[in-house]
Amino acid sequence: MSIEALKSAIPDFAKDVRLNLSSMASDESLTDQQKYGLFVACGIASRNAAVRDALIAEAAPKLSPAALTAAKSAAAIMGMNNVYYRFVHLAANKDYQSMPAKLRMNVIGNPGVDKIDFELWSLAVSAINGCGLCIDSHEEVLRKGDVSTATIQTAVRFAAIIASAAIALEAAESDAGAKAAAA
């Protein structure tokens, strides 16, 4: 499945999602590696197989094997870190903030691609997963790396669009299941 097939699978009640997917695909404000890495990392973070597969299929030919692996790594490591650091941030017991995480995170220090691109992907996945502490941490690294506010906003906009595509497809599947059950 490609991004075009994904767009055609989005139901009419989510026409805005289709339009946003189109604008995302034609965006030229990011480098190709940043853009297609966002497709991969956010597609995986969406936890929707159709979205994940379509975005990886679209991105894989446009990324080096190292960048494809790094984008997948960003989704995986943020899956772990976002749960842990969201807990640390939200827990009433503030003792957790001074405790070592004891989580292996070597890929963050050596992602195999430009550190800024990896941080951008990590920020977008953190936005999908709702970890404010991670969002702040990655945004700070990006700002210190002279990444513009507009670029950061674009990455998070991509995350929002990809997450909404997954929700639209799940809603359509729910509608189809309800119609089948009623028949």
Active site residues: 131, 134
User: How far apart are the C-alpha atoms of 14 and 21, rounded to whole Å?
Assistant: 11
Contact between residue 70 and residue 111 where contact means Cβ atoms under 8 Å apart = yes
Tokens coding 116: 């800024």
Judge whether 1 and 57 are in contact, CB under 8 Å: yes
Dihedral through CA 173, CA 176, CA 182, CA 183, nearest 10? -140
Report the alpha-carbon angle 156-148-6, nearest 5: 30
